Structure 1
Amino acid sequence: MGEVGEWEMFEILEPATQRIPFVFNSPHSGRLYPQSFLDQSRLDAHSIRRSEDHFVDELFQSATFLGAPLLRAHFPRAFLDVNREPYELDPRMFDGTLPPHANISSMRVAGGLGTIPRVVAENMEIYRGRFPVEEALTRVESIYKPYHATLRKLIARTHVQFGMAILIDCHSMPGNVHLSASGQRPDFIIGDRYGTSAAAELSRMAVELLEQLGYAVTRNKPYAGGFITEHYGRPTRGLHALQIEINRSLYIDEATLIKKPGFSALATDLATFIGALARHVEDFAADLPLAAE
């Protein structure tokens, strides 16, 4: 957990040649915590990591060997959440006045999970007290906006090269997540914003391929996709976005954050999944730009 330098806030892992129309994004797996941020926090160095998508960037790293770029954050989600609007901010957290365009009344802000989060998992307060509003806005300007500019460029480049672009937004979820009606504990959740961010065929393929690998998979429940999925998914224009949530209990001990022996096997299954999904996309490419369900 070292100090985060301006040049290492995020990085693109590029394939030698992009061979498939996919862009992978891991916005919540960052684990470099600025010391100044830790000094502001009331949480210890372990507890503050509760909102990380632990090692998700490593689980999907095979994407680059299969011919797709992977954008990954190094800054932690507790510091800045790029899967939000740029200005979903809680005025109670800051000294000073937020700009008038700030969204201070969203459900995510109310829950403490805005662009600058107030809490990590299970409502654990992050900060000892208020901090200057200028610091929050600096995080948006110097990290959030460059991150999204980079993601847009990757998607646009892919779209130009292949005539379509498929964004896979990679996340993890706590092991105790279950469906309220059935009590089922999903291994994966595929989110497509209830059919609006990706062609239905693409979502169905993703679910089916993971099920063929032996996993319990649901679609859109309880996670349908966040800001990134909603913002970048435009299936009628050949821009598709899927969110993938992986159950953390498959690959880490959530108490110690140590990888389980099955970590490598899961990463191998994800490589199989990516390769199979890419082959299906090639077979059904003519259908994918159509409007979603």
Structure 2
Amino acid sequence: MIDWLSIERGNAPLILAFPHVGSDLADVAAQFRSPWLARRDADWWVDRLYAFAADRGATLIRTTISRSVIDLNRDPSGASLYPGQATTALCPTTTFDGDPLYAAAPPDEAEIARRRDRWFTPYHDALEAEIARLRALHPHIVLYDAHSIRSHVPRLFDDELPQFNIGTDGGATCDTALESAVAALCAASGHSHVVNGRFRGGWTTRHYGRPEQGVQAIQMELAMRGYLTEPGEPTPANWPAPIDPDPVILPTLRQIIAACIDFAKGRP
């Protein structure tokens, strides 16, 4: 039993992974110069937004550990997923906006290795085990990596981020038909969307997406304005904002989850 890792098992051919919904700073909290800054970039409330998927038989995997402690969606080697573009590291030293996270020296290689062993490896061992369990039941499964981010982060992207950001690493991590089906639902929603734009899929999508082996992986990065009211400037007094009681994008997300299950069952 791992107290920081939650697995809600279902038998449908779909896994939803939530690597960034946690805000627990664990045993490194005292090292951060601001606990609020260290929690600010969480994918706030995304697991609540998709909670309905459990009723469809999906498996939900979430962690309580903050991405500022260790980012479970980065290459464990430390290699950048977006060479030449601003991003954050396996153990981030800055926020999305470039604010320094640490009061003194950032984690050294030994500390990064400790965090990788303590949190990264068990999370991905659990994810691999769920993939194997469901592959034993179904010839094809979909791994849906669920994320969100503020609509405006100038250091990471220009202007306003599209509402739906679909990542398949240029079509390498899932079948074209699945990518097209999800994109069509986003287009029909009336909200903006992009396929393989600024967010092409993180390490989880790229590592596990093997459509020829029955594992279809897709990342969805949501602009937060679709399910909460974003302040002009986040402060400790207004952030995180509460989740909307009736998010405008929820009907589309329900359609997307249904489409992923149907595709895996052979009914694209």
**Could you list the runs of 5+ residues in structure 2 that have no partner in the other structure?**
none
Does the CA-based 8 Å contact 1:252-1:263 persist in structure 2? no
CA distance in 1, matches of 2:39, 2:262: 36
The residue type paired with residue 31 of structure 2 is: Q
Q: Which digits, 9 at most, give the CA deviation of each residue in 1:119-175, with x for residues without a partner?
A: 111111111122454332211112111110110111111122111121000011221
Identity %: 26
Q: Secondary structure at the match of 1:161?
A: coil
Aligned positions, number: 259
Q: 1:114 aligns with which of 89, 99, 103?
A: 89
TM superposition shift of 1:23: 0.8
Question: Mean alpha-carbon deviation: is it higher for 258-267 or for 186-195?
Answer: 258-267
CA distance in 1, matches of 2:92, 2:25: 14
Q: Is the alpha carbon distance of 1:188 and 1:262 closer, same or farther for their aligned partners in structure 2, counting shifts above 3 Å?
A: farther
**Could you list the runs of 5+ residues in structure 1 that have no partner in the other structure?**
1-5, 89-102, 286-293
Q: Is the alpha carbon distance of 1:133 and 1:244 closer, same or farther for their aligned partners in structure 2, counting shifts above 3 Å?
A: same
2:2 equivalent in structure 1: 7
TM superposition shift of 1:111: 5.0
Q: Is the alpha carbon distance of 1:140 and 1:250 closer, same or farther for their aligned partners in structure 2, counting shifts above 3 Å?
A: same
Does the CA-based 8 Å contact 1:112-1:119 persist in structure 2? no
Q: Is the alpha carbon distance of 1:239 and 1:221 closer, same or farther for their aligned partners in structure 2, counting shifts above 3 Å?
A: same
The residue type paired with residue 23 of structure 2 is: R
Does the CA-based 8 Å contact 1:42-1:126 persist in structure 2? yes
2:62 equivalent in structure 1: 72
1:274 equivalent in structure 2: 257
CA distance in 1, matches of 2:70, 2:84: 13
Give the TM-score of the pair, scaled to structure 2.
0.86
Q: CA RMSD in A?
A: 2.7
1:83 equivalent in structure 2: 73
Structure with higher Rg: it is 1
Q: Is the alpha carbon distance of 1:245 and 1:180 closer, same or farther for their aligned partners in structure 2, counting shifts above 3 Å?
A: closer
TM superposition shift of 1:199: 0.4
Question: Mean alpha-carbon deviation: is it higher for 131-140 or for 113-122?
Answer: 131-140
Structure 1 segment 88-103 matched on structure 2, within 5 A: 88=78
2:208 equivalent in structure 1: 232
Give the TM-score of the pair, scaled to structure 1.
0.79
Does the CA-based 8 Å contact 1:112-1:118 persist in structure 2? no
Question: Is 1:50 aligned to residue 50 of structure 2?
Answer: no
Does the CA-based 8 Å contact 2:164-2:192 persist in structure 1? yes
